[in-house]
Structure 1
Amino acid sequence: IHDLGFIPRVKEVNGAAIRGFKIVIGGGLGAQPFLAQTAYEFLEADRIIPFTEAVIRVFDRFGERSKRHKARLKYLLAQVGLEELMRLVEEEKKGLVSQTLAIDYASFEATPAPAKRNFDVVKAVDETKYQTWLKTNVIPQQQEGFHAVNVKQLLGDLASDKTRVFAAIIKKYASDDIRITVNQGWLLKFVQQEALPHLFNELNTIGLADPGFDSTADITACPGTDTCNLGISSSTGLSEELEKMLKDEYPDIVYNTDIKIKISGCMNACGQHTIANIGFHGMSIKKGTQVLPAMQVLLGGGVEEDGSGSIADKIVKLPSKRCLEGVRYLLDDYDENGLEDERYNVYYRRKIAEDKMYFYKMLKPLSDLETLTAADFIDWGHSDQYVTAVGVGECAGVMLDLVGTLLNETEDKLRWATRLYERGTYGDAVYAAYVTFVSGAKALLTLESINCNTQMGIINDFDKHMVQTGKISFTGSFSEELLMINKQEPTKDFATQFLAKALTFVEQIKSFRKDTVTV
């Protein structure tokens, strides 16, 4: 699901173990999810940083810049294809400072096991809950006598006063090298066997000893309408109600780590609903003159048995208040019709192979708008009737594209290129000078009201509208000059010449801007 993904691998060559990575490229979720494609089954570890830099340079040049929702590597990959993208990456490598860059593994030392301590023998305050917690939240470490403890927390929300108490508990029973997990929880390390009941008891006092970490009962949800202007319906409210329902009606589901439920407040997938076995994303449904909160149900996403990934399929839209019943339908049918030891996604695909509309038919009765009640028009966690109010999302920034600002940025980039040259990092100086050219060209194209969306578009349009028309004096082709950076070795001589041309170019565009404003 990432622009670049690295999966560690060890390959034996002539009896020696060579470290490397399987590399996947161009993944992403959002409203249009894409699974990453394999760039290399194995790439030596000392080549991954140059490869990454080359990918970034290619995306800088060809990636979308005007439409924010398209400014992702996944769209460039979909546009040009994997073969062409990898060709561009290989072409870009020539202009890099280093073709290989060794990774110093020795400097990344593992957290040392702490000295063992003596703990008094205590009983768990709730023995039944404790035994379930041990089975679902505690993992033996490779270091004998120590355990890793996963802490489940609804939505990952933790008030500051509770956090301070939690931190004090960690200091008493675990190492200070903790991890925040992708499912909105925590991972504690180096907890002694004898300390486990102590830790459980103290976590239980602050509500952090719930069993079922990373199980079906451990639901992931984005903040949704609580804080995000893009949220359409309440993801957090549905998550809370679902966890309550699962705890009360399906107590053994804390042992199921196959089925994952994920919820987003809108289609943009901050809650990663598109890679959930059972996913929901917020939306609304109109009934006459009224609008009610709803969820799109998705099924069949996540990690498969062979390690590959799957994007969930959209099934049906349900009023939010009926999603609990929808989950009951899904779990009960799986319990009744799933084969022994059959994973959920295998069951899902088997059933849709038998009848493509199987799950739609199952859930469709819950979407009937003729049987709505007043409660259906009130979202989870709210008391007032639902209204839609969508604005700018949490991750959006201020739009600013003034010519003067672009020219200032161009001068900043030129200063940075000069500093890199003075340090003797000629490859970086060349690329910084290249970015200076592009930034300056964009400024003048903006001044001329010519839309700019990619670096290559800027370069070609500058040739067409500014150089070929004689508005800017430039010897030869602007594009050919700039693209010399991936055809020439980044030597001192080349850097000297390229930086000098960038300096002349900046002075020329500043003069053009001044003359235009004066006129």
Structure 2
Amino acid sequence: MYRYDAIDHRIVRERVEEFRDQTRRFLAGELSEDEFRPLRLMNGLYIQRLAPMLRVAIPYGHLSSTQLRKLADIARRYDKGYGHFTTRQNLQYNWPTLESVPDILAELAEVEMHAIQTSGNCVRNTTTDAFAGVAADELIDPRPYCEIIRQWSTLHPEFAYLPRKFKIAVSGAVEDRAATLVHDIGLHVVKNAAGEVGFKVIVGGGLGRTPIIGEVVREFLPTEHLLTYLDAILRVYNRFGRRDNKYKARIKILVKALTVEGFAAKVEEEWSHLKDGPATIRPEDVAHYASFFTAPAYESLSGSPAEFAAKLAEQPAFARWVERNTRAHRQSGYRSVVLSLKKTGVPPGDASDAQMDAVADWADRFGFGEIRVAHEQNLILPDVKERDLFVLWELAKQQGFATPNVGLLTDIICCPGGDFCSLANAKSIPVAEAIQQRFDDFDYLNDLGEIDLNMSGCMNACGHHHVGHIGILGVDKNGEEWYQITLGGSQGNQTSLGKVIGPSFARAQMPDVIEKILSVYVEQRQQGERFIEAVRRLGITPFKERVYAKDH
């Protein structure tokens, strides 16, 4: 992991003290709400439906065990004993008092964390593959470049007041696990014909009110030109992006208005003034940041140990968990473990202070003190020896982290919705729980296979419903909460946007609606066909007819 230097420490400490004084002045009536709003947003502080919400940055989803213990301690002392992990690989506290936020930020600074640029019209937290550095299909480790982007974008004076918020995702593997095609900028590591490593640059993706899949503006960008090219993109957006209408202010609208060819031409023109300039990345720069992400001291292990194989044969529940909740590792004898935050009855993405402490302990005991936050709102222990998996599984069961549903229907991506967010049209958490309760049968879930169900409480799409195989969107209907269904969305290398199947449904209908959709799949699927493949083959018509058919 990247470690702060003296400059990093000083910047974060000074930012905390600056905000402490701003908060004091606001509480004393010296700053109006309008004056204080941009100041608090710069420090990740929102005013939600019931209380302030503080969003803490977790750069590219990486946490040390020390940092996770601090997050747990803050939840225990300043909040209601839990935190919410988001699709942006951050953590949110839903119940801090305004007066306590400067103290929270000061404590975060002690463990090299902050909330800078987790809100506002700026470059937000850069996200990447939660399995970066350990994935078997990785071309190069994207984390050094994520850190370079983080350092470039943090407190960048030119990009502090963009037309709208701006999100960058980086994928360094064959399979895109960072949803890069629905980000303002997506970067794919690629190799050209000469075997040189560079980036395919995708611009103009995004969800929200106007979901759009990004388009390629450059097929191959040499790595040394990454920052100058990003500078050029941001400058074009800053100059031409709409500021008169926030609903048309995202870069995706600008790309569509100019056409991808027109936008790319403006970027190339701007880049001609920046290329080979001071922001060019030198080999020693890459080596410096790569030195923070070297492989840990793995043991030399050959094949799976006999005891592990025996436990798989003796314990069907353990074998099911290993199949669903662990991933192949590039190092023989190791696996990455996904700790599911989707136990039935618990809001998706929530973890208690005790659970966070437990995960920190496991990271030290079974790994190298590192935890990852997945964009699917689960936690990951990246380096666990196969011989330790059974003990870890038993401990995870005790803490409610061993639900073997990763990638299945009940592994729901879900925003906090109307229970907390002042922007939401409808609640998300009760609907997620109702669906999980209806389908709380692991034999049935495994028979259904991989299904992504994503839910958002409003059009801002924090739950990424547009790219769920099944998407649920909360809508307002004459002051009442209703829910719209989309089918056919997906993320990854074959990203697609779901299609609305028809009129919305009342909350109480949602489990029945999902059951009817699944019944069509079970009846009409072909041998080995996944749900998303069946939807693409059949289209939405048979699902729509089943859902809206009148019961006789």
Q: How does 1:352-371 map to 2 (within 5 A)?
A: 352=539, 357-365=541-549
Aligned-partner Cα distance in 2 for 1:299–1:198:
39
The alpha-carbon deviation at position 111 of structure 1 amounts to 2.8
Q: How does 1:128-277 map to 2 (within 5 A)?
A: 128-154=316-342, 155-248=348-441, 251-254=443-446, 258-277=450-469
The structure that has the greater radius of gyration is 1
The alpha-carbon deviation at position 119 of structure 1 amounts to 13
Change (3 A) 1:360 1:252: closer
2:500 is aligned to 314
2:133 is aligned to none
Query: How large is the Cα RMSD of the aligned pairs?
Result: 2.7
The alpha-carbon deviation at position 123 of structure 1 amounts to 6.9
The alpha-carbon deviation at position 236 of structure 1 amounts to 1.1
Q: Is the 8 A contact 1:116 1:192 kept in 2?
A: no
1:20 aligns with 2:206: no
Q: Is the 8 A contact 2:225 2:281 kept in 1?
A: yes
1:32 is aligned to 210
Q: Secondary structure at the match of 1:90?
A: helix
Q: How does 1:109-120 map to 2 (within 5 A)?
A: 109-115=293-299
Aligned-partner Cα distance in 2 for 1:197–1:24:
42
Task: Encode CA deviations 1:261-281: one digit per residue, 9 max, x unaligned.
Answer: 000011221100001110000
Change (3 A) 1:175 1:240: farther
The alpha-carbon deviation at position 257 of structure 1 amounts to 5.7
Change (3 A) 1:284 1:94: closer
The alpha-carbon deviation at position 167 of structure 1 amounts to 1.5
1:51 is aligned to 229
The alpha-carbon deviation at position 294 of structure 1 amounts to 1.4
Q: Is the 8 A contact 1:212 1:255 kept in 2?
A: no
Q: Is the 8 A contact 1:62 1:76 kept in 2?
A: yes
1:468 is aligned to none
The alpha-carbon deviation at position 149 of structure 1 amounts to 0.7
Q: Is the 8 A contact 2:520 2:543 kept in 1?
A: no
The alpha-carbon deviation at position 115 of structure 1 amounts to 4.8
Residue from 505, 520, 527 that aligns with 1:340: 527
Gaps of 5+ in 1: 372-519
Gaps of 5+ in 2: 1-181, 343-347
Q: How does 1:276-291 map to 2 (within 5 A)?
A: 276-286=468-478
Change (3 A) 1:357 1:162: closer
Change (3 A) 1:194 1:169: same
Q: Is the 8 A contact 2:363 2:370 kept in 1?
A: no
1:90 is aligned to 268
Q: Is the 8 A contact 2:311 2:318 kept in 1?
A: no
Instruction: State which drifts further: 44-53 or 21-30.
Output: 44-53
1:350 aligns with 2:537: yes
Q: Is the 8 A contact 1:136 1:254 kept in 2?
A: no
Q: How many residues are paired up?
A: 354
Change (3 A) 1:115 1:92: same
Question: What amino acid is aligned across from residue 308 of structure 1 in structure 2?
Answer: Q
Q: How does 1:358-507 map to 2 (within 5 A)?
A: 358-365=542-549
TM-score w.r.t. length of structure 2: 0.60
Task: Encode CA deviations 1:421-479: one digit per residue, 9 max, x unaligned.
Answer: xxxxxxxxxxxxxxxxxxxxxxxxxxxxxxxxxxxxxxxxxxxxxxxxxxxxxxxxxxx
Aligned-partner Cα distance in 1 for 2:411–2:471:
13
Q: Is the 8 A contact 1:151 1:208 kept in 2?
A: yes
1:296 is aligned to 484
Q: Is the 8 A contact 1:174 1:189 kept in 2?
A: yes
The alpha-carbon deviation at position 62 of structure 1 amounts to 0.5
Aligned-partner Cα distance in 2 for 1:326–1:67:
36
Task: Encode CA deviations 1:89-129: one digit per residue, 9 max, x unaligned.
Answer: 111123327354335443314331345899999979x9332
2:185 is aligned to 4
Aligned-partner Cα distance in 2 for 1:292–1:89:
45
Instruction: State which drifts further: 203-212 or 86-95.
Output: 86-95
Aligned-partner Cα distance in 2 for 1:208–1:336:
33
Change (3 A) 1:61 1:265: same
The alpha-carbon deviation at position 312 of structure 1 amounts to 0.6
2:281 is aligned to 101
Question: What amino acid is aligned across from residue 457 of structure 2 in structure 1?
Answer: G
The alpha-carbon deviation at position 255 of structure 1 amounts to 6.8
Question: What amino acid is aligned across from residue 52 of structure 1 in structure 2?
Answer: L
Aligned-partner Cα distance in 1 for 2:185–2:491:
17
Aligned-partner Cα distance in 2 for 1:259–1:212:
10
Aligned-partner Cα distance in 1 for 2:371–2:447:
24
Q: Is the 8 A contact 2:489 2:499 kept in 1?
A: yes
The alpha-carbon deviation at position 331 of structure 1 amounts to 1.0
1:65 aligns with 2:243: yes
Q: Is the 8 A contact 1:213 1:254 kept in 2?
A: no
Change (3 A) 1:330 1:203: same
Change (3 A) 1:165 1:345: closer
Instruction: State which drifts further: 343-352 or 332-341.
Output: 343-352
Instruction: State which drifts further: 55-64 or 134-143.
Output: 134-143
Task: Encode CA deviations 1:391-441: one digit per residue, 9 max, x unaligned.
Answer: xxxxxxxxxxxxxxxxxxxxxxxxxxxxxxxxxxxxxxxxxxxxxxxxxxx
Aligned-partner Cα distance in 1 for 2:434–2:526:
29
Residue from 68, 74, 84 that aligns with 2:252: 74
1:430 is aligned to none
Aligned-partner Cα distance in 1 for 2:323–2:365:
22
The alpha-carbon deviation at position 300 of structure 1 amounts to 0.6
Task: Encode CA deviations 1:176-218: one digit per residue, 9 max, x unaligned.
Answer: 2221001100111221122111111111111111112122221
